[in-house]
Amino acid sequence: MQTNQKVTALEASLNDFDPTIRAEALQALLALVQGGHIDLPPAADMANMHCHTFFSFNGYGYSPTGLAWLARRRGLKLIGMVDFDVLDAVDEFLAACDVVGVKGSAGIETRVFIPEFATREINSPGEPGVCYHMGIGFTSSQAPADVAPILADMRRRAMERNRDMLARINTYLAPVAVDYERDVLPLTPQGNATERHMLQAYVQAAERLASDPVAFWSDKLGQEPAQIAALIGNGPKFQNLVRAKLMKKGGVGYVQPGPDTFPTVEEFHHFIVACGALPCAAWLDGLSAGEQDMEELLELLIGRGVVALNIVPDRNWNIADPDQKRLKVQKLYKVVELAQKLDLPLNVGTEMNAYGQKLVDDFDAPELAPVRTAFMDGAYFIYGHTVAQRVLGLGYQSDWAKTHLPGRRERNAFYTELGRKVEPGMPDQARLKQIISALNVES
């Protein structure tokens, strides 16, 4: 097999559901690098700190190991994974980042209900009071025993929502039906299915069971056959149509969430902090009623422990319509300015939980020039916390940090500078202590 073919095959194996195959593929690729058969670019000042792995859903099928390798192949200095409702990827991802030489961070995402915004839509379209919310800077897939039940409950709630939705959609799509254990769970490496996995299962089931899939979907989705025929060969676009018609608000599978559907902010934050990680708010685009009151929302969340803010930049500037682009770019600049005022470092990335989302933001785009420094500072901040917590237990939430760096602004500045100075890969304790001492903070 020629080298290029071998590399392609090994890179595909990085995303195998078998962790042993993933690990062996990465070692084989690194051996090719050592042998001079793969040229890796120098690391550039670029970051993608919000990438979902296949432990929740990745639009390109990337595993934690695959994402770490992708970052190194693309010359990113930093990369962060985030998964819905689980920490399954954390250990593998951070270990792979160490091996390939990329600065890594790990997080979790879920939805919470905010009673004070119960009448205002926030960042979950059509769902007042419901808010996508995050924790970043985790260092282990294992939660401490006292909060492990919270993590288990998040997984349980997600599965129950999926099963309930599946039952409603099965009734509507009969005779096409999907079995959760047989058809959905095998699409996941560790049993954490999402709506996108169910979409995939339904499209596959219709191909098997419907005598004429175009006619079937035309009838069930209320679309002209010509429109279905034009889309059905385009997997991502067609699945988005099915999702919008069946799973989102107004669809047969949808149920309006309420105060008891998701964890409370306090419960989620308790879990995050107990893990030594950082509660992180999430911003969509500033257009909803709730996000038009963003300062009120952030001050409320800061009071409950939020210390960072997540942004997905590409959807807020890379827009064809000039008027919409102008508005959203202004909103982007405004929220970055607000975050700096409130001492909230930024966690930015592309998500990658749907096909078509970028593998990395275009940090050289003129529209991002005014906010690029804030984006990179945030990436170094979260890596600085992560490495200090992993190696010495001296992360942002530690008693040591609260004693030596009592102000949030000074604490942010410290971990940002630490993140710039510590090279990727797990450093030894003595070396990290030297760097901390050089930053004039005694450990």
Distance between CA atoms of 340 and 139, rounded to whole angstroms? 26
Given a cut of 90, whether residue 60 has pLDDT beyond it is yes
Q: How confident is the model at residue 1 (pLDDT cuts 50, 70, 90)?
A: low
Scored b (16 or more CB within 10 A) or e, 137-146 reads: bbbbbebeee
Given a cut of 80, whether residue 441 has pLDDT beyond it is no
Residue 291 has a pLDDT of 97
On whether the 40-143+275-438 domain is CATH 3.20.20.140, my answer is yes
Q: What is the pLDDT of residues 271-306, one digit of tens each?
A: 999 999 999 999 999 999 999 999 999 999 999 999
On whether the CB atoms of residues 55 and 83 are closer than 8 A, the answer is yes
Q: What is the pLDDT of residues 378-392, one digit of tens each?
A: 999 999 999 999 999
Residue 123 CB contacts under 8 Å (≥ 6 apart), including other chains: 131, 132, 282, 283, 284, 288, 290, 291
Q: How far is CA 17 from the centre of its chain?
A: 19
Strand partners, 51: 81, 351
**Structure token digits, residue 281:** 């708010």
Find the range with the poorest average confidence among 168-177, 233-242, 336-345.
233-242
Strand partners, 103: 78
Pairing relationship of beta strands 278-283 and 130-136 according to DSSP bridges: antiparallel
Averaged confidence pLDDT in the chain: 95
Residue 432 has a pLDDT of 92
Residue 23 CB contacts under 8 Å (≥ 6 apart), including other chains: 65
Q: Where exactly are the structural domains of the chain?
A: 40-143+275-438, 152-246
Q: What is the pLDDT of residues 144-173, one digit of tens each?
A: 999 999 999 999 999 999 999 999 999 999
Residue 2 has a pLDDT of 77
In percent, the amount of the chain with pLDDT more than 70 equals 99
What's the one-letter identity of residue 277?
A: A
Helix axes 19-34, 90-100, angle to 10 degrees: 10
Residue 443 has a pLDDT of 56
Whether the predicted model's global pTM rises above the 0.85 cut: yes
**Average pLDDT of span 29-49:** 95
